[in-house]
Amino acid sequence: MIIGRSGSAISTELGTMRVTEQIDAMETMAVSPIQYLVAPRLVASLMMFPVLTMLFNVLGFGGAYLMGIYVSAIPPGPFIAHTRELVVPGDILHGLAKSLVFGAAVAVITCWRGFSASGGAKGVGDGTTRAVVMSSISVLVMDYAFTLVSVGGGR
């Protein structure tokens, strides 16, 4: 969801700035586009991915609670007790650690594809498509690697 919403926006904005020479203009004004455009987006991603992950955790728990209590008729007490039993603080920290890495990867990939855009509107569109596809695949691969390591570490 974040890649579709924010990753594509980053790639499109930077791609448009590249093909309309706004990034070149910044360089000619002795301003580093990496510092001015990439660094704030990287920092924002590193800050907001964990925040959004926590938000989605809360929403996910809330959704599960509503479904469990009102649709599946599970009593609230056992639902909460089982959840506390199954979800340990380490799980939350594990998710937050992953979100930090995903945030960095998505910011770097989408900024890089935006900076690499060329050839007008089509180039910006192609760059955004590549950014979203590469980011999504990267997140899946890294998630797999994280799980492999954590399962291996748990044995």
Partner 1 sequence: MIQIDDLWKSFGDHEVLKGVTAHIDKGTTFVVLGGSGSGKTVLMKHVIGLLKPDRGTVRVNGIEIDKLEGRELTEARRMFGMVFQGAALFDSMNVFDNVAFPLRERKRGMPADEVRARVIDKLKVVDLGEDVLTKFPAELSGGMRKRVSLARALVSEPQVVLYDEPTTGLDPITTDYVDDMIVSAKERLGVTSMVISHDIASAFKVADRLAVLYDGRIAAQGTPDEVRASTHPFVQRFLSLWFKKQ
Residues found near partner 1 in the complex (CB under 8 A): 13, 16-17, 20-22, 24-25, 27-32, 36
Matching residue, tokens 């509107």: 121
Q: Which is nearer to partner 1, 30 or 71 (CB)?
A: 30
Q: Which is nearer to partner 1, 24 or 91 (CB)?
A: 24
Tell which residue, 10, 25, 5, 32, has the closest CA to residue 110.
10
Instruction: Work out how close the CB of 57 gets to partner 1 at its nearest, in angstroms, rounded to a whole number.
Output: 33
Residues in CB range of 115: below 8 A, 6 or more apart: 14, 15, 18, 23, 33, 38
Alpha-carbon distances, residue 81 vs 10, 22, 64, 65, 89 (angstroms) = 42, 56, 14, 12, 15
Instruction: Work out how close the CB of 28 gets to partner 1 at its nearest, in angstroms, rounded to a whole number.
Output: 4
Q: Which is nearer to partner 1, 32 or 147 (CB)?
A: 32
Instruction: Work out how close the CB of 31 gets to partner 1 at its nearest, in angstroms, rounded to a whole number.
Output: 5
